[in-house]
A and B are shown apart, each in its own frame.
Chain A
Amino acid sequence: MSQTSGTIVGVNGNMITVEFEGAVGQNEVGYACLGDLRLMCEIVRIRGNRSDMQVFEDTSGLSVGDPVDFTGELLSVELGPGLLTQIYDGLQNPLPQLAEQCGFFLQRGTYFNALDREATWAFTPTAAVGDKVTAGEELGSVPEGIFKHRIMVPFRVSGTCTVESVAAAGGFTIEESIATLKDEHGNTFDVTMLQRWPVKVPILAYRERLRPTEPLVTKIRIIDTFFPVARGGTYCIPGPFGAGKTVLQQLTSRHADVDIVVVAACGERAGEVVETLREFPELSDPRTGKSLMDRTIIICNTSSMPVAAREASVYTGVTLATYYRQMGLNVLMLADSTSRWAQALRETSGRLEEIPGEEAFPAYLESVIASFYERGGVVTLKDGSTGSVTIGGTVSPAGGNFDEPVTQGTLKVVGAFHGLSRARSDARRYPAIDPLESWSKYESVVDAESVEVGREILRRGNDIGQMMKVVGEEGTSQDDFVLYLKSEYIDGTYLQQDAFDPVDGATAAERQHYVYGVMTGFLKASLQLEDKGAARRFFHQLTQTTRDWNRAEMGSEEFKEIQGRLEQMVAEVTVNA
């Protein structure tokens, strides 16, 4: 690899223009030298012997004539055991270590190894000498927390290799060789537990990509029942500010039924990440009883951190997620918010003086969004096991208006849409997912027919509600009024969920199936209620009791008792056909 170097000839915001001699590649990483400081930057455009580079740090103080070293590498992350529980910035710099060294502030130009070079991992070989292996196949494993962390043939290896030697079981650091491979051309090379991979390139070391079918249970009823997400699928949550996007993502990151969660806080408030940072180590994962942090990686590039690194952060996140997918695990990658990422693209594009598209976003915005979401997916690995990456991204549309480029570009490529509405959040109906506008192409945890029953009632209830605003309650027929109350009932007791209640906060799939079944029975019943007042009183009581039911542990005496009462209440007013 040639060590090309260059000198700065222009500075504009976080964009520098560099004159170079020799060869450089698009998206190659370099370091701009400001005295002793080395500021990481990436080539985004080359014109003749000049390249435009976006700097991942503040550029103050850079001057024409300052040297730039090129590395010959694309922007890459380190992959290996020890990623879990880490808190990284967008460039995979470990933030706690940075804090130890630099104190309160993020000093620019300080880079650390993402993975601990000293730690030893207990390696158990699985490959044998003479085995034929290809990229992504297992050579051995180390335990990482509760997971079996597969040590794989590096993804960049092409063709079939022969295992020349493999280390015996024992402790190794990530830089020590654990195997020697010989490739098709007869070259031998060492394999360590550490490998690097360019973030913007998808990892393709699997056998086949499958259609996502298995539901990913988030334990949020409105999502799992009405707008489900599949493992390996993609979904987006657009919503105006204050509608609860981040809270929804935090809840998902806690309760989702997956092995590993990668949270990419991308250009959002630092305070929100802090909640996750401080609370996750205290919370226990209901599936394993271990700390939630044990299954989490946090990529944190908050709004005041450099913009170019923000653009990198979602790719860093998805690359780490894909790495764990390659071990046959189910990974959920949450990006909050993709609009900030798109804005980072817009800023870069603006500095490059590219011809803008709609709202000054670059013309390639949609294809970039599409290729990002396409990095999700469920795959069969080379050993026959399956792994998945599910991507959920929030979108922060300007003015809460979904008719803008980022939302529209995202809707085209995702499998589920959870649109948050201001009206619902103002009415404190949480989660504020709009039940009429949202959609999902995946399969629900309850059968499609029952879902349709609920949906139909919600739809018609909404129509009647609108009508009632005009003609008043008096002008509404008793039947319509009861239907309206039914829709309010299902909204109030099933769609809305109290995130702070230990039981109601997370509803398992079986419970959703069971409870929704019982409630569909109520919805289908034709009720005989004297007048509107009686109807209102009846539903008020039914709602209140159902809420108590939601708070009772499933299978407990209380649960059964309340269910009995509910059924009794409905039976008393049901007309027997």
Chain B
Amino acid sequence: MHKVYHHVHNIAGNVINIRAEGVRYRELAEVTSRNGSSLAQVIRLKDDEVSLQVFAGSRGVATDAQVRFLGHAMQVPFSEALLGRIFTGAANPRDNGPVLTDNLIDIGGPSVNPAKRIIPTNMVRTGIPMIDVFNTLVESQKLPIFARAGEPYNALLARIALQAEVDVIVLGGMGLKHDDYLYFRDTLEESGALSRTCMFVHTASDPIVECLLVPDISLAVAEQFALEGKRVLVLLTDMTSFADAMKEIAITMEQIPSNRGYPGDLYSQLASRYEKAVDFEGSGSITILAATTMPGDDVTHPVPDNTGYITEGQFYLRNGRIEPFGSLSRLKQQVNGDTRADHRSIMNTLIQLYAGYRETLEKQSMGFRMSDWDDKLLKYGDRFEKEMMDLSVNIPLEQALDLGWTILADCFEPMETGIQSNLVENFWPKTEVGDQKSEVGGDAPATEDDAPEPELETAEA
């Protein structure tokens, strides 16, 4: 059955071609050559010609290499023993632990039936006010973090991994710098979070094909945990490396590129990964947070652009802070109505005032005279940035809301904030004597219709 083939007649990039029969599409093979052995996967069949993508790369593969087909597609072991372990993109141990071989599961399984999906209702608390208060993360949500290459997106992911209230964390690293990998490992280890974490890490120096496997492996494992009733958070970094790996293979396979060299199915490929985020009715859930670096800080680059169409919102990380404008959690409405009565109002008010602050900054830089109101905004904006936006702030949602009130009370009169009077009565810190102002602006997300439109920074800016 498992015949061994000895003649490789074509090697290009990481793809080798052999002549063989009875081979199944996506089947795995073991390629053994003088320089060692590697797994490989069938990526094209044409008559008796089989194209294989060699996981460890084709370097050193000889034309007389042995190719043995294994009769199954890529699989990954699944058990509780995965927790606390670190693997490579091909699911081999990267720590010094034992190789796991039992209970193998297929990767890249079928997608969830939309008829079985439910409307998500649970918040994932992260302890980061910019997420919890302004763009609440919801269980089963898929959210990317858009950032330039230099931004601390990995630090942010690590912090979320430490603080998020979930049962299991699966971290998929793609094209990680070795330092970043060590940073993740050490940070999780120090805090003890490693025991509920399973890491699949492809570093930049590893073979590129392994990078392609990371999301599928991570998500397959996450799916099994979720089916066991666990709330799983999957962290993927960096999805742009994943897309670049796809580009590399596609070009090797002589596929016609669509946009900036990326294959035409980039959207479908990304979607089939992100859509693994799900809340299983009566069981666990998968939430996906993925870092996507934006080459040239350009959100219209194919990778962030396609990602934005797939995910349920996005976080922009700019200058080490989660940017309040442009960042969006599309699912926040599902949960932020039930947290605390003042959540939505605080969220809207703080952001509107912060928009005012930004505008004032602009005026200031252009040399306009500052009014009293401008001074108040400047004071407010400064405190808001330091006490709320800073990524090192770690406080629960309720405390963050209280902090919001405190900052407001220190900077403004209640009437200046435009918050509904009943909320002001209940929540405005009592030390300050503010006159109760009749309702302004009503309830709903108010739009700024007086005063020149605050120039909310647009995503493309």
- A72 to chain B: closest CB distance in Å? 26
- A-B contacts, 9 listed (Cβ < 8 Å): A58-B110, A104-B116, A269-B312, A271-B312, A277-B115, A347-B264, A426-B325, A426-B459, A540-B450
Contact A269 B275 (CB under 8 A): yes
Partner pick for B113 among A8, A105, A275, A496, CB 8 A cutoff:
A105
Residue from the list B21, B110, B227 in contact with A64, Cβ < 8 A: B21
B280 at interface by CB-CB < 8 Å: yes
- Return A47 CB to nearest CB of chain B, in Å: 14
Question: Among the listed A96, A242, A496, which residue makes an inter-chain contact with B328, where contact means beta carbons less than 8 Å apart?
Answer: A242
On chain A, the number of residues with a Cβ less than 8 Å from chain B's Cβ atoms is 83
Known: A65-B22, A241-B309, A350-B256. A270 touches B118 (CB 8 A): no
Q: Roughly how many angstroms separate A34 CA and B272 CA in the complex, as a whole number? A: 23
A427/B453 contact (C-beta < 8 A), A58-B110, A65-B22 known? yes
Q: Which residue of B lies closest to A501 (CB)?
A: B444
Residues of B within 8 A of A399 (CB): 299-300, 305
- The secondary structure that dominates the B interface is loop
A12-B44, A64-B21, A105-B109 given; A540·B444 CB < 8 A: no
In the assembled complex, the CB of A375 is this many whole angstroms from the nearest CB of chain B, namely 25
Q: Let me know if B256 and A353 touch, CB within 8 A.
A: yes
Number of A-B residue pairs, CB cutoff 8 Å, is 211
Are A304 and B275 interface neighbours, CB within 8 A?
A: yes
Is B308 close to A, CB under 8 A?
A: yes
The answer to whether B449 touches A488 (Cβ under 8 A) is yes
Chain B nearest Cβ from A243, distance in angstroms: 10
B181 within 8 A of A: no
**Distance A64 CA – B453 CA, assembled complex (angstroms):** 63
Instruction: Tell me if A507 counts as interface (CB < 8 A to partner B).
Output: no
Tell me whether B265 is interfacial, beta carbon within 8 Å.
Answer: yes
**Does A99 lie within 8 Å of B256, measured CB to CB?**
no
Give chain A residues whose Cβ lies under 8 Å from the Cβ of B23. Answer: 63-64
Let me know if B185 is at the binding interface, CB within 8 A.
no
Given A10-B45, A104-B113, A302-B114, residue A360 in contact with residue B264 (CB < 8 A)? yes
> For the complex, is A103 an interface residue (Cβ under 8 Å from B)?
yes
Q: Residues 464-505 of chain A: 1 if any B CB is under 8 Å from the residue's CB, otherwise 0?
A: 010010000100000000000000100010001010110000
- A residues in contact (CB < 8 Å) with B: 8-13, 17, 58-65, 87, 95-96, 98-99, 102-108, 240-242, 267, 269-271, 273-275, 277-278, 300, 302-305, 307, 340, 343-344, 346-347, 349-350, 353, 356, 359-361, 396, 398-401, 422-423, 426-429, 465, 468, 473, 488, 492, 496, 498, 500-501, 536, 539-540, 543-544, 547
Q: How far is the CA of A465 from the CA of B227 in the complex (A)?
A: 55
Using C-beta atoms within 8 Å of the partner chain, give the interface range for chain B: 35 or more
Shortest beta-carbon distance from A252 to chain B in Å = 19
**Closest CB-CB distance, A35 to chain B, in whole Å?**
11
In B85-116, the 8 Å CB interface with A consists of: 108-116
Given contacts A11-B25, A65-B22, A241-B308, contact A87 B302 (CB under 8 A): no
Which residues from chain A contact B318 at a C-beta distance below 8 Å?
none
Q: Is the CB of A99 within 8 A of B116?
A: yes
Per CB-CB distance, the 10 closest pairs between chain A and chain B, nearest first, are: A399-B300, A303-B271, A304-B275, A360-B258, A304-B111, A241-B308, A60-B26, A95-B115, A11-B45, A11-B25
Q: Are B309 and A396 in contact (CB under 8 A)?
A: yes
A322 to chain B, nearest CB (A): 24
Assess whether B310 is interfacial by the CB under 8 Å rule.
Answer: yes
Say whether B444 contacts A500, CB under 8 Å. yes
Decide yes or no whether B412 CB sits under 8 A from chain A.
no
In this complex, what residue of A is CB-closest to B449?
A: A492
Inter-chain CA distance A219–B112, complex, in Å, is: 34
- B28 to chain A: closest CB distance in Å? 11
Q: From residue 110 to 139 of chain B, which have CB atoms closer than 8 A to chain A?
A: 110-120
Are B45 and A64 in contact, with the CB atoms below 8 A? yes
Residues of B within 8 A of A304 (CB): 111-112, 271-272, 274-276
B118 and A278: CB pair below 8 A?
yes
Residues of A within 8 A of B46 (CB): 9-10, 12, 17
Cβ contact within 8 Å between A242 and B264? no
Which B-chain residue is minimally distant from A8 (CB atoms)?
B45
Task: List the A side residues contacting B112 at CB < 8 Å.
Answer: 104-106, 270, 304
Least Cβ–Cβ distance between B174 and chain A, in angstroms? 19
Other-chain residue from B47, B114, B120 in contact with A273 (beta carbon distance below 8 A): B114
B267 at the interface (CB under 8 A from A): yes
Task: Determine the chain A residues whose CB is within 8 A of the CB of B265 once the complex forms.
Answer: 13, 307, 343, 347, 350
B110 contacts across to A, CB distance below 8 A? 58, 105-108
